[in-house]
Structure 1
Amino acid sequence: MESTTTAGRVLRGIEFARPGGAALLLDLYLPAPAAAAGRGSRLPAVVHFHGGGWRTGERSSLGPTVDGFGLSPIEQLVAAGFVVASADYRLSGTATFPAQLHDAKAAVRWLRDHAAEHGVDPDRIFAWGDSAGGHLASLVGLTGGSPELSDDGATGTVASVAGVVAWYPPTDLLGMGSQALPDAVARADDPGSREALLIGAQPADAPDLARAASPLAYVHAGAPPFLLIHGTADRFVPAAQSAGLAAALEGAGSAVELLLIEDADHMWSLPDGGTEAAEQATAATLDFLRRHARP
């Protein structure tokens, strides 16, 4: 189904993979000619993965709070001349990890395979996600060009990306519970936590599984540039998760930027209900992607 926005066209519900016989869909946002003017014959692109604790959520959403702010970060990217693909992935009620990462990589491969058709530069594809989607975007960035966590059914197309933006991502499932704030709404070591449902076991009871699902375990020299953005008052995913990954990337000699937004909770909620944190995160995301997408 095709629709139009002020920024361009949207092709909704494109099938990009069919694991186990169930179709996975993405929405493809294409800039209007005016937005694409001056960007060259091929445009940079972003593959977006939604949040929702790997249990819920839907493509093209950044969560109910962010969506409610009306800032439309995806459309802002499109207006800046980026093609955006926002993709489904299997939720934890359907499959456990690494199925979600396989699906995320399949979305990147689909965009690379169809780059010429949609005017995309295959060397300027970025990954972006919020919360659980930030976890997947980080894993794609760290493992996309390697055999680690590869999908046995994958085509020969690589799933590597030119950079990663992750909003409040879980990065260390084993250490996450101990980092929770005193007023945390959810902890990774709670029975039946989102993280436990993702890997099929309590992280403390299955440390190898927890590490295998943690971006921190795959940090290496030569990783693509990262932008990690987190609120210091996040009651769902502690800000130490982004800080720890940033420190590990820096220690490995990889380019990383860490933005901590004071008093911001998950989904950029502020005590006064304002949109300043979401605006700051969106502006930083646009700035990072513009800088790294320059030909």
Structure 2
Amino acid sequence: MQKSFIFIVLILSTCSGILQAQNTFSVSVNEVKNGKIKVEPAIPDDGKVPKGTVLTLTAEPDNNYAIDAVYYSVNGMWGDMYLECMASPFEVVIDQDKKLGASFIEKEEVDHLEVTQNIVYAKPGVKELKYDVFAPKGARNLPCIIIIHGGGWIWNTEDIMRGMARELTKSGKYVVFSIDYRWAGNRDGDKVGNTMADIIGDVFGAIAHIMEHAADYGGDPTRIAVTGDSAGGHLSAVAGTMPNKIGDGGFGETEGVFEFMPSYIPENKTVDQLRTEMMAAIKAAAPSYGVFGSDLLNHYSEDPKANDSWKEAIAPLSNIPNAEERKIPHYLTRGTKDGLITDEAVKRYVDALVEAGQRVQYVQVGGAGHAFFDWKPDDNTKATFKKYGIYYINEMETFFNSVFYPKN
């Protein structure tokens, strides 16, 4: 009897430990440089924080520094995966193991800017869709550059492109908008999975909202360039080559009809008006290490009718306009050590653009891997950005200047 009692106690103790493990998570704070971070309530000495706890992170920069981001990271498919906010305080809900931190940047890197964060342009599902604006102080009637982030269509937010946005505004010639969109499948928590057509509709919806409000930030809605990297490289190529596919005819609902419905349309516009205006406004594209051909794309649709034609309908390679109908000059970049995007795949897109009479420049970045235009709080990403990103962003701006500020 005594042995049975001890055995039951051991089982209950073990189960109690499992339940405790399930209801607490490990939380730690990364080393902070050039500033301080305060976490409230304080993290216990053992680092175990009850599930559902809301922690408030407050960042304070040192002299001559500014807040780059307050953040948390989780372990994901690409190592530490960040969710960031460029303002303090920042609230974090503990629902898994998380690392907390703050990143700071030299004030001179951001003193030229007016930054407006988290402008909501649509909410077609669980997640609010947002963009950030980076406007040079005193901006007035400047061309707009719209950045679309990467992350395999299933991760990251607009925050990861803030380094590029800051660089593109230093000359004072552009207002930059960095946009977010729905993640593919059920990654946002939507009951019905998001398709690539939904994501593309978000991109066009964001552009529509930006065109409606660009003047509020000193931008000219009739002069727009699009850029983005990786998944954003694909989406920016779509935005550049395929605004003619905007419409309310549905995507694959009728055989042979593939149209993208923007997730936002201004109240005073019809979808036809929006399509016409966007086709005229988008004047240049600079997709970086993106996917352009249908062979590497996923339509993410569960419709039993979905076939290869659905992939062709989301592939820029298959939808390039003839330059006589609409010019859309391109600037393409790829790192020579990119393990995801091949030189051959980019060249296929280059050749197709040339065949259509489009102007195109393809630059290979010697020694660079994938995602060198990204910006994150970790030192390695920042170093990569400084080594490769800054120079080639300036080269990209030279391309944009040739479109928007041509020499006489």
Q: TM-score, normalised by structure 2?
A: 0.57
- Secondary structure, aligned partner of 1:13: strand
Tell me whether 1:237 sits opposite 2:341 in the alignment: yes
Point out which structure has higher relative CO (alpha carbons under 8 A, 6+ apart).
1
Tell me whether 1:170 sits opposite 2:269 in the alignment: no
Unaligned runs of 5+ in 2: 1-84, 88-106, 187-193, 247-257, 374-379
Match of 1:102 among 195, 201, 219: 201
Could you say which residue in structure 1 is the equivalent of 2:397?
A: 286
CA distance in 2 between counterparts of 1:11 and 1:171 reads 32
Per-residue deviation, 1:277 = 3.1
For the pair shown, the structure with the greater C-alpha radius of gyration is 2
Q: Deviations over 1:55-99 (max 9, x none)?
A: 11111314xxxx8xxxx2211111222111111101113311111
Per-residue deviation, 1:8 = 0.9
CA distance in 2 between counterparts of 1:2 and 1:60 reads 8
Q: Deviations over 1:9-65 (max 9, x none)?
A: 1111101122246421111111113xx4xxxx4111111110000011111314xxx
CA distance in 2 between counterparts of 1:122 and 1:265 reads 34
Distance 1:120 1:290, change over 3 A: same
Could you say which residue in structure 2 is the equivalent of 1:227?
A: 331
Worse overlay, 118-127 or 43-52: 118-127
Could you say which residue in structure 2 is the equivalent of 1:191?
A: none
Q: Tell me, yes or no, if the aligned pair for 1:97 and 1:199 is still in contact at 8 Å.
A: yes
How many residues align? The count is 256
Match of 2:312 among 211, 235, 251: 211
Worse overlay, 148-157 or 160-169: 148-157
Q: Letter of the aligned partner of 1:117 in structure 2?
A: D
Q: Tell me, yes or no, if the aligned pair for 2:283 and 2:327 is still in contact at 8 Å.
A: no
Q: TM-score, normalised by structure 1?
A: 0.78
Compare the two structures and name the one with the higher strand fraction: 2
* Aligned-pair identity (%): 25
- Secondary structure, aligned partner of 1:267: coil
Could you say which residue in structure 2 is the equivalent of 1:185?
A: none
CA distance in 1 between counterparts of 2:148 and 2:112 reads 20
Worse overlay, 210-219 or 256-265: 256-265
CA distance in 1 between counterparts of 2:132 and 2:327 reads 27
Could you say which residue in structure 2 is the equivalent of 1:84?
A: 176
Distance 1:200 1:134, change over 3 A: same
Q: Letter of the aligned partner of 1:209 in structure 2?
A: W
Worse overlay, 42-51 or 230-239: 230-239
Distance 1:102 1:152, change over 3 A: closer
Unaligned runs of 5+ in 1: 177-194
Q: Letter of the aligned partner of 1:89 in structure 2?
A: Y
Q: Tell me, yes or no, if the aligned pair for 1:2 and 1:9 is still in contact at 8 Å.
A: no
Tell me whether 1:32 sits opposite 2:137 in the alignment: yes
Tell me whether 1:75 sits opposite 2:166 in the alignment: yes
Backbone CA RMSD of aligned residues: 2.7
Q: Deviations over 1:233-256 (max 9, x none)?
A: 211122222211111011100111
CA distance in 2 between counterparts of 1:153 and 1:49 reads 16
Q: Structure 1 segments of 4 or more deviating over 4 A?
A: 1-4
Q: Letter of the aligned partner of 2:123 in structure 1?
A: R
Could you say which residue in structure 1 is the equivalent of 2:122?
A: 17
- Secondary structure, aligned partner of 2:217: coil
